[in-house]
Structure formats: C-alpha cells, structure tokens
C-alpha cells in the first residue's frame, strides 16, 4: 500500500483547500503507477492489475481523509465491465418514464423494497415477484419429477429450464433440444467446461497434438482455461483495417500452416473491441472451415455469445442465422449468458449448447465430475429470471437503450478530452453493442499515462493479447460524467 503524509499532522486532509487535496491525490496516483507499471503483465493480468490500482488509490485517499468530491472527480474506474444497477443515476426524460434508468435496479429485482436509488424509491415489486416465481417453478419441477433439493446425478441442470432455453436457441434458427444444452454458472464456467470436455474427447481419440486458435484482441480468460486444460495456443493479431476481425483468407492461411488446430474461439460480438461480425464475414469463415473439413481437417467453433442481445435484434438475428446450416451447427458449441445482456453478472446465469448431440454427450462428465450437482436454489432463481425476461420483453430494449446512451456519452467525453490535449489517435465508434469502448492512444501514451493525466482508468490492450497502443474502457460500473468533471 502506498502512503502519503500530509503536512498538517493529525488533521484530516479534508480540511485542506481542494487544490491541496487534489495535489495529494495526484501524488498518491503517481506513486502507485510507478509501483505497478513494471508488473502489469504479472500475476492476475492487466485487467485486474488496473482494477487493483484504482482500488488501492481510493483506499489510500480515504485513509488520508481526502474529500469524496475530490476522489470522485480525480478517479474514474472504467476497468471492469459489469454494470452496477444500484449506481445508475441517468434519467434523461420524465422521472418514472421509459428513460428513467434509475428504475432498472427495481425493474430487474436487484433493488430491495424501499431502497433509495438516487431520488427514486424502489417498490420492490419485482424483488417479491422473483421469489414468488421461484416457488412456482419449484412446484413445476416437482410436478415433472425433478426435485432441485436433492442430488442430481447428471449435474447438467433441470430439463424444464433447459427446454425453455433450447426453445430460445431455436428462435435463432438453431434446431436443438434440451438434451444438447447444459446449464452453467455464467459464461466463464461454461467455457471452462466446454474446453475441458473437448480436450478429454480428443485425448480419447488419441489426438496428441491439440491446439486452439484465439484471434486477438479478445477476452483473455479462455486462453488461460485452454492452457490449463493442455491445449497448445495459436494466437493471431487482427488489424484495425478489418475492424479487428478475423477474415476468411486469414483463417485459411492459419489452418493450412497449423494442422494441430481443432478449435477456434470466436466472440461473435467482441470484447474488447465492441465490433461484431457481419453475416457475410461469418459466412466467409464458415466456408473456410467447410473446405478444411472436406480435406480431413475438422475444426470446431467455440462461439461466445455473451454480448448477443446487447445490439440491434435484427442484426443479432442475422448473425445467428449463419450458424443454422446443418454442417455448421454440427461443428459449433455455443456459450450463452444473461450476465451482460441483462446486467445480471452477480447471478451467474449461463448455458452451453452443442450443435452435435454426440458432443453434448461426450463433454457431460465435465459437469458431473466438477460440480456433482448444480445448486437447486440457483436453478430456481435462473428460472424466475427467465420468466421475468419472457414476460417483460421491454426490459431488453430498455437495457439496450441504456447501454447505447452510456457508450455515446463516453465517446463524446473522450473526444472532448482529446480536443483539449491529444490523448487519442482514434476514438472508435462501436457496432452499437457491448458495454465497452475500444480506442487507440496517441504515440507515447499508455493506460498508465492516461490515468495519471485525466484520472480515467482503462485496461491496456495487452490485457487482450494486443498492444498497449490500444485501451478498453467500460461503461458499466459508474455513470459517464461530463468531460469537465473528470
């Protein structure tokens, strides 16, 4: 922990003039940056290192007794992607109207009855509704001979909820049934189990040389998971010219040079870049995979759908339709989640869908042998949330509008700051999806220098397998302040 002795003895720093408090904070920030800069790639990785810097700086400032006003004006945490509904303050329209986003915590059952949310008092109606629905769902499961309170020998989740989710997948044009779909504790848990299962499957086939392809920049956790499960990792750095997306021609060359690749991890809508594959781009990739299958080189796609649902519905529908061809579906494993789409990151509601029923059967031991049985209360909560989303479809649209508002505000803020001092080469305009912004820094700048100059903490590109010329900001944790208040 970095400490700083102020010049007024035991008097709290909050009694000092604001300018002196700001100077203390800035010195604390410089010391922390100097301490952590050499270690950005060590330990838990750049995302958590940057988040830790912010947390330690806030802690040091409060230990010094600095004013909360100064802390909030000088420290903006845009590292972690989760949206904190309790901290939503935006109400650009009529209070209580469709753009009163303060109500989202209440409308999604996060807020407790009577909880104060920046001038809005939660009714608790959804909070109570979810509990009632969970009880109804338990009765429904018992009626279908499934007791969530006892040991589930298969460990993949109750068939009622799995059938509901399979119906949703069929609405994408993917003809799957509940036996091809398993519940998971969020997308990350589903990714880990799918990677583990495919590694076991290939070892059972005596495939000694097993590798996976990761286009970058991309979400880094699956790389760690794959390495832990014995895969050789191939990475490929995409380029800005192609909006950081892998092209069919590039994939073809990669596979011709790396016959050990048997899986490709593909984020259909990307974290961190915020760019999404178009249907034609996905079709190009599928055409390459089809040609290689015909030549005996079979590659499965691990399709991460975490941000499908945060963008325009018709565009998401078109993207997902590209996976409906029988041979494509047969060679795809889908990873889905309510976490980002519906701001339910703490609930950990995810599932894995295998286009090939035999793959689903082969990887199922990774559920039974890692968790034994999915928690019963969690399954009931999952079912209640599914019913909430189905019965109130306007929630999805309101959340998409909320994400859009914050992304645009952040882009405007970054452009305003850039006009004052040249911090960015380019502030990218997203594909109207995800909860991030991806931008290129000016020469000589990096995440540390940016945090020191303007107090906004983002994640360096190296956190996603890319270069530190780039930085990812999250719109999630806190509202976007006007540029003059950063």
Task: Give the model confidence (pLDDT) of 203-252 as tens digits.
Answer: 999 888 899 999 999 998 999 999 999 999 999 999 999 999 999 999 99
Tell me what the pLDDT averaged over the chain comes to.
92
> What is the reported pLDDT for 42?
61
| Choice between 246 and 486, residue whose per-residue pLDDT is larger | 246
Reply yes or no on domain 13-86+417-485 having CATH 3.90.1150.
yes
Give the pLDDT confidence score for residue 8 in this predicted structure: 40
Query: Measuring CA to CA, how many Å separate 171 from each of 28, 274, 295, 307, 383?
Result: 53, 24, 32, 17, 18
Q: What are phi and psi of 374, to 5 degrees?
A: -70, 140
Residue 44, pLDDT > 70, answer no
Q: What is the DSSP string of 165-186?
A: HHHHHHHTT----GGGEEEESH
Residue 99's pLDDT band, with cuts at 50, 70 and 90, is very high
pLDDT score for 266: 98
The angle subtended at Cα 180 by Cα 379 and Cα 175, nearest 5°, is 115
Structure tokens at 111: 């807020």
pLDDT in tens, 244-275: 999 999 999 999 999 999 999 999 999 999 99
What is the average per-residue pLDDT within 456-480?
Answer: 91
* Mean pLDDT across 333-352: 93
Residue 96 has pLDDT above 60, yes or no: yes
Q: What is the pLDDT of residue 43?
A: 55
For residues 286-310, give the mean pLDDT: 97
Residues 6+ apart with CB under 8 A from 351: 157, 162, 165, 181, 182, 183, 184, 190, 336, 337
Q: Write the pLDDT tens digit of every residue in 351-368.
A: 999 999 999 999 999 999
pLDDT tens-digit series, residues 164-188 = 999 999 999 999 999 999 999 999 9
The torsion of the CA quartet 300, 306, 312, 313, rounded to 10 degrees, works out to 70
> Per-residue pLDDT averaged across 414-418, rounded?
95
Specify the pTM: 0.93
Segment 65-70 shows an average pLDDT of 92
Q: What is the DSSP code string of 364-412?
A: THHHHTTTSS--HHHHHHHHHHHHHHHH-THHHHHHHHHHHHHHHHHHH
Other beta carbons less than 10 A from residue 24's beta carbon: 21
The percent of residues above 90 in pLDDT, for the chain, comes to 85
User: What topology is assigned to 131-391 in CATH?
Assistant: 3.40.640
Per domain, the residue ranges of the chain are 13-86+417-485, 131-391
Residue 6 has pLDDT above 60, yes or no: no
Average pLDDT, stretch 147-156? 93
Residue 5 has pLDDT above 70, yes or no: no
Contacts of residue 228, Cβ cutoff 8 Å, sequence gap at least 6: none
The reply to whether 131-391 shares the fold of 13-86+417-485 is: no
pLDDT for res 477: 75
């Amino acid at each position: 922990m970095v400490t700083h002795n102020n010049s007024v003895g035991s008097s709290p720093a909050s009694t000092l003039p604001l300018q002196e408090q700001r100077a203390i904070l800035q010195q604390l920030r410089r010391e922390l940056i100097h301490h952590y800069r050499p270690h950005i790639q060590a330990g838990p990785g750049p995302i958590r290192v940057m988040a830790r810097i912010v947390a330690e700086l806030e802690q040091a400032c409060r230990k010094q007794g600095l004013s909360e006003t100064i802390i909030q004006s000088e420290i903006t945490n845009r590292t972690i992607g989760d949206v904190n509904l309790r901290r939503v303050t935006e109400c650009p329209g009529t209070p209580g109207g469709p753009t009163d986003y303060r109500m989202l915590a209440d409308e999604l059952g996060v807020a407790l009855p009577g909880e104060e949310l920046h001038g809005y008092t939660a009714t608790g109606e959804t909070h109570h509704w979810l509990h009632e629905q969970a009880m109804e769902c338990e009765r429904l499961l018992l009626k279908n001979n499934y007791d969530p309170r006892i040991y589930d020998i298969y460990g993949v989740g109750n068939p009622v909820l799995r059938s509901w989710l399979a119906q949703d997948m069929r609405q994408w044009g993917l003809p799957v049934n509940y036996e091809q779909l398993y519940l998971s504790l969020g997308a990350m848990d589903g990714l880990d189990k799918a990677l583990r299962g495919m590694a076991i499957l290939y070892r059972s086939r005596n495939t000694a040389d097993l590798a996976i392809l990761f286009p970058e920049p991309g979400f880094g956790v699956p790389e760690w998971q794959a390495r832990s499960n014995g895969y050789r990792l191939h990475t490929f750095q995409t380029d800005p010219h192609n909006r950081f997306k892998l092209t069919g021609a590039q994939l073809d060359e990669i596979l011709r040079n790396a016959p050990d690749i048997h899986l490709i991890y593909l984020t259909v809508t990307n974290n961190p870049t915020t760019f999404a594959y178009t249907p034609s781009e996905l079709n190009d990739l599928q055409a390459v995979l089809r040609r290689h299958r015909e030549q005996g080189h079979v590659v499965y796609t691990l399709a991460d759908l975490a941000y499908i649902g945060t963008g325009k519905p018709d565009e998401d529908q078109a993207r997902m339709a590209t996976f409906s061809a029988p041979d494509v579906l047969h060679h795809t494993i889908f990873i889905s989640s309510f976490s980002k789409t519906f701001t339910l990151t703490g609930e950990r509601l995810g599932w894995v869908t295998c286009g090939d029923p035999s793959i689903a059967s082969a990887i199922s031991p990774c559920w039974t042998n890692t968790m034994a049985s999915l928690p019963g209360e969690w399954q009931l909560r999952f079912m209640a949330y599914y019913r909430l989303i189905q019965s109130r479809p306007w929630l999805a649209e309101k959340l998409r509008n909320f994400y859009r508002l914050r992304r645009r505000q952040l882009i405007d803020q970054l452009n305003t700051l850039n006009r004052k001092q040249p911090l960015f080469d380019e502030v990218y305009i997203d594909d109207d999806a995800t909860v991030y912004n991806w931008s290129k820094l000016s020469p000589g700048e990096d995440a540390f220098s940016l945090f020191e100059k303007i107090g906004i903490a983002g994640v360096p590109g190296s956190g996603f397998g890319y270069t530190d010329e780039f930085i990812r900001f999250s719109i999630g944790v806190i509202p976007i302040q006007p540029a003059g208040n950063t």
